[in-house]
Structure 1
Amino acid sequence: MTVIIAGPVYVEPADRDRFVAGHRIVVEEARRHPGCLDVSISPDPVEPGRVNIFEYWESAEVLDAWRAKAPRPQVRLPFEDGGVRKHVVARTSGPFD
């Protein structure tokens, strides 16, 4: 079953762009990892201190393998978890099916 990790984290608004840029290496490497369907760590267009996390993996095993070798962000800043959650997906279809 596929796995999605998604939700917001919150940083100081003045640190948001630095936080996102510091995670670029994580996103780039994850997207090259076999079984990664998508990863994005991006600034929210409405809330100044919000960063949206989205990860889409073929399976929990692929995610675990990634986590065992994932690089550390280049910038470490404090953040507050705003509800990032892991979703195990049993069925996927088109958006209008």
Structure 2
Amino acid sequence: MLALAAEADVKRHVLTHRHTDLKDEFYARVRAQGHVPDSERKLREELRKTKKRLAEVIEENTRQQAEIETFARVVNVLTVENDQLRGQLGRKRASVVALHPGPAPGA
């Protein structure tokens, strides 16, 4: 693209931003010749790797979300059980009666 801009005696950004039809035609002709520029090849490889990594991150996120939901259910069950046990403990303390009275305090 730089060579085309130089040949046309215009700045590259003018060619790529104002005359997108020429830019598109240039790249179409390059592809038609079967030659893919190194920069495009590198970008395509980077895009492929990025898409693969994104898929891995999405999969990991989905797995972690399922684990979080499982842990939340476990915490809820344990909270209910804890409340029930505290209630039972409170009732047992209230019903404790001394069978052998010990010495009176201060005696």
- TM over 0.5: same fold? no
Bigger Rg over Cα = 2
* TM-score where L is the length of structure 1: 0.23
Q: Relative contact order: is structure 1 or structure 2 higher (C-alpha 8 Å, sep ≥ 6)?
A: 1
Give 1 or 2: higher strand fraction.
1
Q: TM-score, normalised by structure 2?
A: 0.22
Structure in which a larger fraction of residues adopt helix: 2
